[in-house]
Every structure is written in C-alpha cells, then in structure tokens.
Structure 1
Amino acid sequence: MATSIHGNQTMNETDEVLAVAGRRATAMMAADVEGVALLLDERCVYTHSSGLTDTKESYIAALRKQAYIYHAVETVAVEHAVIIGHLVILNSVMRVSMTVKATGTSVDRKIKVTEMWVRDQEGPGWKLLISHSTNLA
C-alpha cells in the first residue's frame, strides 16, 4: 500500500531517507567516494540534469577521477514523498554547485530531482536506487 505525504507532514521512513540523503550530499562535497558508494544500490541509475546517465560503477569511477567536484548540494524542498513497502520515492527541489572537470566550467543549478530509495535487505539503512534530475528555469 502506498502512503503519500505533503508539506510538513512526516513519516519515519521519509525522515530516515532524508537523513541518508544528507549524508550522501556531505560525502559528495567532501569528495568521499567510498562514503557515496556505500549509499548507492548496486542497481543504481543516476541521470544528471545534463541528461548524462550513469550506473553506480560509472558514477563512482567519475567521482574517483574528480570529474565532478561538488561545492554545495542542498535540498531546498521536498515536495512529495511516496512510501511503498521498502521503497521511498522523493520529489524534491535542490541547489547544486559544482565544477565539471571535462569542461572546467562551474555549474550552479536549481534542479528538480526524483529519487527512489530502497531499504537495504542486507543490513540496516537505505540506498539510492534511481535519481533523475532536470534543470529548473
């Protein structure tokens, strides 16, 4: 059965996922590649706001090469969350500031992000299964 939340309402699973998402953002800004890797499901599909899509393996390889240097990753608002069994789906607005090594350009974007988090059956916690983002005007 699916449960939806809006606004300031909270559910335990959503709070847990938001805490893990915060740890992932902190690890990204600290260039803690292993810390990020621990929070991604093996089946992770990560679609950037540029349209580039990574698997867990290719995203972690890019982080190791410092292809993306994150300066700020901030969740501005969680607009919608849906809980279905061992899945939490978040629809959020985020601000991301980073440098793309390949082009040397600094990027400061406000993006809409849909993420699907799955409860890790091997141990406690949540892992990112799918992330898809798009730029906001």
Structure 2
Amino acid sequence: MLPRTGATLIDRQENKEMPKPREPQKAMIAQRKKDIMMSEKNITSMIRELEERRRKAMLLADTKTLEALFDEALIYIHSTGTRDTRATYLAKLESGAMRYETITLEVTEITIRERFAILAGRMTATVRTANGKIAIASRYEAIWHQSADSWRVMAIQGFTPAPDHQKS
C-alpha cells in the first residue's frame, strides 16, 4: 500500500541511503597501483635476469637456452644491418658460422607496458665470423613479451650510435 503523501515505491527506494562506494574504491585503486608498481619492479628484475641468461647463452652458443628465450617470430637485426630470424640466428650459432668470443650487455632502461617490456642497452662484443673477427660497440633495443608460459624476446635491434652520442 502506498503512503498518503503520494510517493511511489520507486521514490521510496531512491531515497534509501546507499552505501558510499568511494572510500572502498579509493582503497582498492591505491592497492592496485601499489600491486602494479611491485609487479613492475618484479618484472624489471626478471627481464634483467633473462637478459643475463641470454648473454651467457650467446657466449656459450647454447642454442637450447636461446630457443627457449626467443619467440618463434623473433626478428634480430644486428648492428651491421644483417637480419636474422630465430631459426637463422640459432643455425649460425649451432654451425659455428658466428661465435661470440666476448660479450657484455648493459641494460640502461626497461619500460613495462601490460604484457610487454621494452629494453634499451649497450652491447660490446667480439664476434668471429667467416669474415674474421668483428669488434662490436653498439646500442640495442629488445622487446620482450609475456606469453602464456614465460617471457620471450620478440625483437632485437642493434645500432651503432652517432659519434656525438657514444658516451651518453
């Protein structure tokens, strides 16, 4: 039965005090931001560890480890401009056509976005090929992505910095 004031059932429902969701939402948002920051720190640390595994595997010509770290669609553009796929790069290491004698990778920056990590760094290496020994001092960028079971590198591009930017 409706009250005599003429208010409808809907009017009475709208006048009920609803719990204020703002405070719990603010707390949830703050916690989510904290979780994301912690997650980014963890991912950054993990990407650095994966880069070190990649460096060691390159030095040892450990193609099994590299195969696990590289996405099937990997594109590797060397600082010389040579382009490799995962298969061609691993074949060069397996056959000995390319052999790293020394290699250092210095990660200078990692940016995390959702399922991707964009890494910038410097590489110095001595590589033996059919053409002889090559000394490399370059910058590189690598794009890692989170697949269903692990993080894998999808793209690597090496480039020689301009002479006025070599020290930065």
**Shorter-chain TM-score category?**
0.7 to 0.9
Q: Is the 8 A contact 2:48 2:107 kept in 1?
A: no
- Given candidates 119, 134, 137, the residue that maps to 2:159 is 134
1:105-116 matched pairs, under 5 angstroms: 105-116=132-143
Amino acid at match of 2:57: A
SS at match of 2:102: strand
What is the CA–CA distance in structure 1 between the aligned matches of 2:151 and 2:71, rounded to whole Å? Answer: 9
Q: Work out whether residues 111 and 119 of structure 2, in 8 Å CA contact, stay in contact via their aligned partners in 1.
A: yes
1:87 aligns with 2:116: yes
Contact residue 107 and residue 119 of structure 2 kept, 8 A: no
Relative contact order (C-alpha < 8 Å, sep 6+): which is higher? Answer: 1
| Aligned mates of 2:140, 2:96 — CA distance in 1 | 22
Inter-partner Cα distance in structure 2 for 1:39 and 1:50: 23
Which residue number in structure 2 is paired with residue 6 of structure 1? none
Amino acid at match of 1:39: L
Separation in 2 of the partners of 1:36 and 1:54?
14
Distance (whole Å) between structure 1 residues aligned to residue 115 and residue 69 of structure 2: 15
Give yes or no for contact 2:120–2:141 (8 Å, CA) kept in 1. yes
Which of 69, 74, 83 is the matching residue for 1:44? Answer: 74
- Give the drift of 1:126: 1.5
Q: Secondary structure at the match of 2:158?
A: strand
Question: Structure 2 CA distance, aligned partners of 1:108 and 1:76?
Answer: 16
Determine what percentage of the aligned residue pairs are the same residue: 24
Aligned match of 1:99 = 128
* Secondary structure of residue in 1 paired with 2:61: coil
Higher relative strand content: 1
Residue 63 of structure 1 aligns with which residue?
Answer: 93
Q: CA deviation at 1:77?
A: 4.3
Question: Over aligned residues, Cα RMSD in angstroms?
Answer: 1.5
Deviating beyond 2 angstroms after TM superposition, the runs of 4 or more aligned structure 1 residues are: none
Per-residue CA deviations over 1:99-129 (Å, capped at 9, x if unaligned) read 11x21x11221111010001121x2x31110
| Other-structure match for 2:35 | none
Partner Cα separation in structure 2 for residue 118 and residue 38 of structure 1: 13
How do 1:16-27 residues align onto structure 2 when only pairs under 5 Å count? 16-27=46-57
How many pairs are equivalent?
123
Please identify the structure whose Cα radius of gyration is greater. 2
Measure the CA separation in 1 of the matches of 2:87 and 2:43.
27
Unaligned runs of 5+ in 2: 1-39, 164-168
